[in-house]
Structure 1
Amino acid sequence: MACEIDPVKAEGFAGSLIEMINQGAMSIMISIGHQTGLFDVLAGLEPATSQDIANLSGLHERYVREWLNAMVVGKIIFVDDTSTYYHLPMEHALVLSRKFPGDNIALFAQYIPVIAGVEQQVIHCFKNGGGVPYSEYGRFHEVMAEESGQTIIGALFDHILPLIPGINQKLEKGISVLDIGCGSGRALNQLGEKFPNSVFLGIDLCKEPIEKARKSAEEMGLRNVFFHQADLTSFRLDAEFDLVTAFDAIHDQARPDLVLKAIYNCLKDNGVFLMQDIDASEKVYNNLDHPFGRLLYSISTLHCTTVSLAQGGMGLGTMWGTEQAKRMLKQAGFNKVTENRLPHDLMNCYFVVSKN
């Protein structure tokens, strides 16, 4: 029996699909506006010509003008009826400009061109299996570092650490801390500077961010912060730690189960594991209204899943789910798992985990 087609539904879907494609293109334009600092220049600026904006930005006018026109048709920037004077409303600037730290959504647009850069390689994996390694991702670590600066660094002392009762006093007195998947070490270096009596070790798979972390620690004159490049799946630690942290790092691992078990084994009996990871469900139906759902499943397809599979891993993906996270923590041996949500971070859940 032939399937009847509702022409109204078909036309409506075609229209929404055109809008999706347009919005995808706008994401790249937003990424450019963020990286070039154009949104920062436009925030609070009176209506100005493309030449004025180019001069203030130190950029070439012809490119600036075309970008501005893309922003206008995207209804992000407004222009007068002579198409001469451009203006960014402050209501838009609040979530687009670095002038408003903590509220900048524009930085997330950078993920679109980054993951799009490996599209052909991932399509190859669709057909042949395997995965795409971290080394193919260009600016991914840079974008992650910027995101962590907003969700972690800015909230670390006032909102994140207080989730662990009494941890500030212990850090001031002096304890040992391990950061899993430390990236460029911004969080660890901040902790090392504030708590000179404690000792900090950061571990990451990739060479480039580890080198940046070491350089930053050296420039800050830190003698209590150390970094080591290693594959956490097979790396074994002889030392025991009072506090272990993992900021948006566990789901990316080839074998999160083995990493969590290694964390359990190197954590002191009265120690605490603080894990920040994606706040989503393992069941896609429960994520239909997730504010970042489409972005996160796209990042999962084009980064987190394939990077794990490239290492012969489990390929859990970005949206592995808080349910699975809790199961794996329990399987690793942890008995107490507490979930926390923070108002500044709509994307992540903060798990406070202990052995007892």
Structure 2
Amino acid sequence: MSHVIEIEKAKVEQFSARIMEDYGNTLRGAMLYIGDQLGLFKALADGEWVTLEELAQKTGYNPRYLREWLGSMATGNYVSYDPPSKRYRLPPEFVPVLADEDSPYFAGGIIQLSVPFVSMAPRVIEAFRNGGGCPEEAFPLETWEGMERMTMPWYKHYLVQHWIPSLDGVKAKLETGGSVLDFGCGSGLAAITIAQAFPEARVFGCDFHGPSIERARANAEAAGVGDRVRFEVSDSDALVGQKFDFVTTFVVIHDATDPQQMMADLRQSTADDGTYLMVELNLSEELHENMNLFGRVMYPQSTLYCMTCSLSHGGAGIGAFMGENRARRMAEAAGFKRFRKVPSDKPALPALFELRP
């Protein structure tokens, strides 16, 4: 006996409209990318009303393209539009998010990452069919610039001001010449920030990704700490035998090919009276606990980057959704005796796990 499912036409139409909306949001992501890359949001950051012609004169860009871009931004409620005067304005409340790179709310990094991540979809399809994944070297180089800009607000506004003081005894050690290892340092912003804040500390950063280490060295020179921060291309097994007072990873473990072995290596690199700060995304292993904005963002990103990079090397493929319970289990298996999730009143920020031998 066949089972007949009754379908409500109104719900079909409602869902059809939602697909159209999502399609528009996806394409609008490309428009945001264009606005960020061309400095259009910064050109509008003064909050003044401008005509198309005035914006074209100010930026030097093609007016026809600007008109269509402004239409995308106005219909998407990113800029305001005044029909009688045909003028446009970026609301002042949007400036910290779209135009001010020193703001804790700056989103230029995630805007920049949307295009390289979406561009990997055809290769990820092949991994669905055949296994494996997309290795880091398959991604456009600007991926790493986007990641640098995405995490930049953490280091500018939270690392020294809030995160390090929340850890037991770490600030005092850094003030008196303690040693620091930032593993998976990327372009080096965390290590550089620590070196700037703690002139006595000895800071070392490493990453397996050669182009990122080149960026890190250039960033350190530009920040005036090139002589106090050392960066090297290496993996965690190359650290065996070295001990550090303070070890950090910033959203690194869940991407790893062998995260458990990496944590074991980092345990060996943590001094007996030292601290390992594992910063991970504030997400859960359980799907039902991720039914929120952050989950809607991170499941796609995990599919297009985090998980597929690990699986491309035959790895564990944890993906972005490590969660506190799994982090605790992995810490214990790696030989850490103490594990604490640092309390936070900002759920949008990453989770801080304080691990000690």
User: TM-score normalised to the size of structure 2?
Assistant: 0.93
* Aligned partner letter, 2:152: G
Instruction: Give the equivalent residue in structure 2 for 1:242.
Output: 245
Q: Distance in 1 between matches of 2:67 and 2:343?
A: 41
Instruction: Give the equivalent residue in structure 1 for 2:170.
Output: 167
1:143-222 matches, within 5 Å, as 143-219=146-222, 220-222=224-226
Whether the 8 Å CA contact 1:151–1:344 is kept in 2: the answer is no
Whether the 8 Å CA contact 1:335–1:354 is kept in 2: the answer is yes
Q: CA deviation at 1:322?
A: 2.1
Instruction: Give the equivalent residue in structure 1 for 2:229.
Output: 225
Q: Give the paired residue count.
A: 353
Q: Secondary structure at the match of 2:279?
A: strand
Shift in alpha-carbon separation, 1:224–1:100, aligned structure 2, 3 A: closer
Shift in alpha-carbon separation, 1:199–1:92, aligned structure 2, 3 A: closer
Shift in alpha-carbon separation, 1:345–1:140, aligned structure 2, 3 A: farther
Q: 1:276 aligns with which of 257, 279, 297?
A: 279
Instruction: Give the equivalent residue in structure 1 for 2:257.
Output: 254
Q: CA deviation at 1:342?
A: 4.2
Q: Secondary structure at the match of 2:272?
A: strand
Whether the 8 Å CA contact 2:184–2:249 is kept in 1: the answer is yes
Instruction: Give the equivalent residue in structure 2 for 1:126.
Output: 128
Q: Distance in 2 between matches of 1:58 and 1:100?
A: 25
Q: CA deviation at 1:347?
A: 4.0
CA deviation map 1:17-55 (0-9, x unaligned): 211111122222122222222112212332111221233
Q: 1:29 aligns with which of 28, 31, 35?
A: 31
Q: 2:327 aligns with which of 321, 325, 328?
A: 325
Q: 2:67 aligns with which of 65, 68, 73?
A: 65
Question: Which stretch shows the higher mean deviation, 85-94 or 243-252?
Answer: 85-94
Whether the 8 Å CA contact 1:246–1:276 is kept in 2: the answer is yes
Question: Which stretch shows the higher mean deviation, 279-288 or 321-330?
Answer: 321-330
Q: Distance in 1 between matches of 2:48 and 2:289?
A: 44
Q: Distance in 1 between matches of 2:225 and 2:82?
A: 52
**Is 1:11 the equivalent of 2:16?**
no
Whether the 8 Å CA contact 2:98–2:107 is kept in 1: the answer is yes
CA deviation map 1:58-77 (0-9, x unaligned): 43333222111111111221
Q: CA deviation at 1:221?
A: 4.8
1:95-110 matches, within 5 Å, as 95-98=97-100, 101-110=103-112
Q: Distance in 2 between matches of 1:327 and 1:83?
A: 62
CA deviation map 1:82-109 (0-9, x unaligned): 5721112223334322166112235422
Gaps of 5+ in 2: none
Question: Which stretch shows the higher mean deviation, 264-273 or 106-115?
Answer: 106-115
**Is 1:113 the equivalent of 2:115?**
yes
Whether the 8 Å CA contact 1:245–1:274 is kept in 2: the answer is yes
Question: Which stretch shows the higher mean deviation, 157-166 or 218-227?
Answer: 218-227
Shift in alpha-carbon separation, 1:83–1:253, aligned structure 2, 3 A: farther
User: TM-score normalised to the size of structure 1?
Assistant: 0.93
1:282-297 matches, within 5 Å, as 282-289=285-292, 291-297=293-299
